Amino acid sequence: MLKNIEEIRNIAKKPPEMSSAQDIKTMEKVKYLFYGLTKTMVDIGNNIIEENEFRKPLNNADVFISLAEHDILISDIVPGIKKAVFAIPKITGCSYDELLSVISKSINDIHKCLDSFAVYFKRKQGSIQS
């Protein structure tokens, strides 16, 4: 997942000009990677909520609010992740400029979310081994 985050960041820094089939293919790849990352964050978040019996989220964006309520995530990253989650249903039909706007507002928060999940699982593993 870290590799995908870095690939998305690199492409977003210098987006293709969309003047060739290769440019279009690159942006379609970014859509695919971004969708996959966001969906994976939602799935991991739901699993954490379920295993800890936290309150049931109202929707996919609420997953991250619930996790922040239980200090799994810092609340500062929730808005960026919510932007990504809300973009998912529209991602196939959005323009590349819209996609790059959402990515620029959320990719750092997705990365921080992934880091928070890693910390959570390390703590959990440590408590199991104790």
pLDDT tier at 115, thresholds 50, 70, 90? very high
- Is 5 domain-assigned? no
- Is 10 domain-assigned? no
Q: Which tokens in the block code for residue 64?
A: 């991250």
Q: Which structural domain, as residue segments, surrounds residue 93?
A: 22-129
Distance CA(80)–CA(73), nearest Å, equals: 12
Residue 15 has pLDDT above 90, yes or no: no
Length of the chain: 130
- Is 9 domain-assigned? no
Q: What's the pTM value of the predicted model, to 2 decimals?
A: 0.89
Residues 120-129 pLDDT 10s: 999 988 876 6
Residues 19-49 pLDDT 10s: 788 888 888 899 999 999 999 999 999 999 9
- Is 8 domain-assigned? no
User: Could you give the number of structural domains in the chain?
Assistant: 1
Question: Looking at residue 40, which CATH number applies to its domain?
Answer: 1.20.120.580
Rounded to the nearest 10 degrees, what angle do helices 78-87 and 96-129 cross at?
A: 120
- Is 103 domain-assigned? yes
Q: Which tokens in the block code for residue 106?
A: 């959320």
